Structure 1
Amino acid sequence: MPSKPLEGAPAPVDGALPDAALTEVGTRPFGVYVHVPYCAARCGYCDFNTYTPAELGAGGQGGAASFVDSVATEARLARSVLGERGLTVSTVFVGGGTPTLLPAADLAKVLRVLDDTFGLAGDAEVTTEANPESVDRETLEQLRASGYTRISFGMQSARPHVLAALDRRHTPGRVPEVVGWARSAGFRQLSLDLIYGAPGESESDWAASLDTVIELVPDHVSAYALTVEEGTKLSRRVRRGELLEPDDDLLADRYLQADEALAAAGLTNYEVSNWARDQSSWCRHNMGYWRGDDWWGLGPGAHSHVGGVRWWNVRHPTEYATRVGAGHSPAAGREVLDAQARRVERVMLGVRLVEGLGLDALGEQALDVAAELAADGLIVADVLAQGRVALTRRGRLLTDTVVRALLPD
């Protein structure tokens, strides 16, 4: 089942935000995340807030049939909370789960709701995630025609036995097929997601996955190390000794292998786990997270951040639908970040970016630490001399170490 919910202070039933947070609305880009919590089956490594048809049961509130109506209700609540501040949506990211289990008409309706409620910027980046087996040519054409500008396919691997170890349902040949359809449909921004370190994956397996990605010429690639999350099928198999937990040194080798291959193919690392053909292909929505912008998360379990206030929705689709149907905020809890907490987050996230982090975010004590990190080859000395902290390739492997050093207790 999905991982445990967060703890926090109770959230107001009407979703109201403190005046201090509202005064910041409109001073930064504003994005909307839509969490679609449905999957045809649960992958063995996944602890996301997702539900299969068997877990939800037939009919009733919380099902896919009424999902968009519930999201529309929450969007209107968001508009009411934020007030009439001339706010427009600069990025939309529909994630999950498997958003493309919803009919293309429903995903199109989500965009119409957001445009009617807030207004979409003329150059809005609009992304949906998709599993290769969950779309066909017609679906992709409908999504592009309705306003989606970017699509992210969960490829994960090009090797059948690795896909099987991850409980993925598509075959390797499906990915080139859907990429071709997406290009024909008019998608010019296309991302492929990979996972490395799966049980049974060899160095040559990972090389084959990277070769396949490079041959497909995506604009963007995300590559994440497999993590064994408590409560998943994978964690149970590891605990029983059926599978070996990924080794940190092996994962580091896989990361370096990816970075070298993708760089040689013209894809530059711009965030620790993300590569793009050029800056125009950076995921603007995710950049909003890493830069500390504002966003409202719609849907079960979705997270939001506005003006230093962070909150998260109830996780189960039925409870979510019940709350918004009653005119209440679906927020399960929230936290108001003080200045120190916001500074810590700025350092933790900003240091992951190729653009680096301004030294103004660090205390005086950390300036000497930064110089030591540069001497150790973890941050770029030339960039530090220009007043910013940016990770070297080796530093990316030790991001947590760098952050801990820059944020002493």
Structure 2
Amino acid sequence: MTVEFARGVLPDDLPACAGGPWGVYVHVPFCASRCGYCDFNTYVLASMGPDAVADYLRSAHRELDLAASRMGDAVPQVGTIFVGGGTPTMLTPAQLGSLVGHIADLWGLAPGAEVTTEANPETLSEPVLVGLLEAGVNRLSMGMQSADRSVLRVLDRVHTPGRAVEMALAARKVGFDDVSLDLIFGAPGETLDSWRRTLGTTLEAEPDHVSAYSLIVEEGTRLAARIRRGELPMTDEDDLADKYLLAEEVLTDAGLANYEVSNWARPGHRSEHNLGYWLGRDWWGVGPGAHSHVNGLRWWNHKRPARYAELLDAGLLPVEDGERLTAEQRHEETVLLALRLAEGLPLAELTDVEQNRAARVVTDGLGAVQGGRLRLNLRGRLLADRIITELLA
């Protein structure tokens, strides 16, 4: 731990918000089971004891109160709330609503504020969806991952094929007008035809937003161990590229425009909360392991729920550590994140040397300069990580 971020304390000179929308992220660390590919800070609820949810809620509400006290009066109204996890819908709609209502009481919600919860399809039903709307949630993000039973089995997902579509249509029926589905492509054993069927099934749900991520095999996960033992094949870069190109074709033809390398949306349905991350805006992260950012100051909470609760019970913020971003770090993050967006990266953000490198991106046919911004084309999006590394070299 750095001296600046002492136990349960943020620096005295915590900067004021930089302006723009204020976001709140709430991390609910519970799942019904742990997926083999997941390295998020999550815990199987059934193994945590009968008071786990009550303890978590008490602590999260205390953190919100301490956050409001620490930030003072200079915080704008909340533009976005995102409840992630884990599986937030392991909590009841009323419990989620208590967190949303507390945030609104502390800071107020801006007109048209986006309030998202993630959900596993198996935790949803029409009554739960109605309850979420009544709790103030207006955007639903479901982890569909695949419509292929064998792929779901490889990923250790517990929901059945078709359940996500069923619940997406039910969400629309009860009144949600913003429904997002998350997909993963490139799982061991998934074929191009299987991925095509998943995309087609996804569109049957009439989603407003689709996130499609290539599978990343994280060290320490069960999936990584199975691949290392030779039980499953490793993902293949060419296969991932083919599946990304297919996603672009199918989703674009269906009227969803790519606005970030891995995200497509109908007009007016981009994820405003995630845009806050990509554009370097300010947010407070509540919950075990949650990260926060205020005007170049970043910190993160203790991951273990017991330690998180212990500090809050003592009247302290659950801060584990943090960092004050240097000008160079902020520049690198701007390049890294903005170039992934359809709007692209303002050339004014680049040094003279980096602008010369950006010109090579155009010469190589990987992007174009429009309105003073470097924007990657489809080929460039496939090579985005390499392009960003070369720009910042």
TM-score, normalising length: structure 2: 0.97
Give the alignment partner of residue 368 of structure 1, picking from 333, 338, 356. 356
Question: SS of 2:137's equivalent?
Answer: coil
Matched, 1:289 2:272: no
Equivalent residue, structure 2, for 1:50: 42
Q: Percent identity?
A: 50
| Aligned-partner residue type, residue 228 of structure 1 | V
Give the alignment partner of residue 35 of structure 1, picking from 27, 34, 38. 27
| Aligned-partner residue type, residue 12 of structure 1 | A
Matched, 1:163 2:148: no
Residue 214 and residue 294 in structure 1: after superposition, are their counterparts in 2 closer, same or farther (change >3 A)?
same
Give the alignment partner of residue 255 of structure 2, picking from 266, 269, 272. 266
Mapped partners of 1:17, 1:154: distance in 2: 37
Mapped partners of 2:308, 2:241: distance in 1: 40
Give the alignment partner of residue 306 of structure 1, picking from 289, 294, 299. 294
Residue 333 and residue 253 in structure 1: after superposition, are their counterparts in 2 closer, same or farther (change >3 A)?
same
Show the 5 A alignment for 1:21-100: 21-23=14-16, 25=17, 27-53=19-45, 55-56=47-48, 58-59=49-50, 63-100=52-89
Equivalent residue, structure 2, for 1:390: 375
Give the alignment partner of residue 176 of structure 2, picking from 171, 179, 187. 187
Mapped partners of 1:171, 1:183: distance in 2: 20
1:184, distance to aligned residue in structure 2 (A): 1.6
Mapped partners of 2:290, 2:170: distance in 1: 30
Residue 83 and residue 17 in structure 1: after superposition, are their counterparts in 2 closer, same or farther (change >3 A)?
farther
Residues 78 and 108 of structure 2 are in contact (CA less than 8 Å); yes or no, is this contact kept in structure 1? yes
Matched, 1:354 2:342: yes
Equivalent residue, structure 2, for 1:151: 140
Mapped partners of 2:295, 2:310: distance in 1: 27
Mapped partners of 2:379, 2:4: distance in 1: 41
Give the alignment partner of residue 255 of structure 1, picking from 230, 244, 263. 244
1:200, distance to aligned residue in structure 2 (A): 1.2
Residue 145 and residue 105 in structure 1: after superposition, are their counterparts in 2 closer, same or farther (change >3 A)?
same
Number of positions where the alignment pairs a residue of Structure 1 with one of Structure 2: 393
List per-residue Cα deviations over 1:190-235 (Å, max 9, x = no partner): 0000000011111110000000111221100000011111111001
List per-residue Cα deviations over 1:173-196 (Å, max 9, x = no partner): 212221122112211000000000
Equivalent residue, structure 2, for 1:216: 205
Mapped partners of 2:294, 2:157: distance in 1: 35
1:28, distance to aligned residue in structure 2 (A): 2.4
Residue 202 and residue 9 in structure 1: after superposition, are their counterparts in 2 closer, same or farther (change >3 A)?
farther
Residues 32 and 46 of structure 2 are in contact (CA less than 8 Å); yes or no, is this contact kept in structure 1? no
What runs of 5+ residues in structure 2 fail to find an aligned partner? Answer: none
Matched, 1:327 2:315: yes
1:120, distance to aligned residue in structure 2 (A): 1.5
1:391, distance to aligned residue in structure 2 (A): 1.0
1:8, distance to aligned residue in structure 2 (A): 5.9
Mapped partners of 2:154, 2:58: distance in 1: 37
List per-residue Cα deviations over 1:236-261 (Å, max 9, x = no partner): 10110101110111111110110011
What runs of 5+ residues in structure 1 fail to find an aligned partner? Answer: 1-6
Show the 5 A alignment for 1:90-129: 90-129=79-118
Mapped partners of 1:122, 1:367: distance in 2: 39
| Aligned-partner residue type, residue 133 of structure 1 | E
Mapped partners of 2:211, 2:81: distance in 1: 18
Question: SS of 1:191's equivalent?
Answer: strand
Residues 35 and 298 of structure 1 are in contact (CA less than 8 Å); yes or no, is this contact kept in structure 2? yes
Residue 47 and residue 8 in structure 1: after superposition, are their counterparts in 2 closer, same or farther (change >3 A)?
farther
Q: Which moved more, 1:358-367 or 1:77-86?
A: 77-86
Give the alignment partner of residue 203 of structure 1, picking from 189, 192, 197. 192
RMSD, matched Cα: 1.4
Equivalent residue, structure 2, for 1:4: none
| Aligned-partner residue type, residue 318 of structure 2 | P
| Aligned-partner residue type, residue 387 of structure 1 | G
Residues 169 and 206 of structure 2 are in contact (CA less than 8 Å); yes or no, is this contact kept in structure 1? no
Mapped partners of 1:12, 1:51: distance in 2: 27
Question: SS of 2:158's equivalent?
Answer: coil
List per-residue Cα deviations over 1:19-44 (Å, max 9, x = no partner): 3x523x15121100000000010001
Mapped partners of 2:87, 2:45: distance in 1: 12
Residue 293 and residue 43 in structure 1: after superposition, are their counterparts in 2 closer, same or farther (change >3 A)?
same
Mapped partners of 1:348, 1:385: distance in 2: 18
Equivalent residue, structure 1, for 2:9: 15
Question: SS of 1:11's equivalent?
Answer: coil
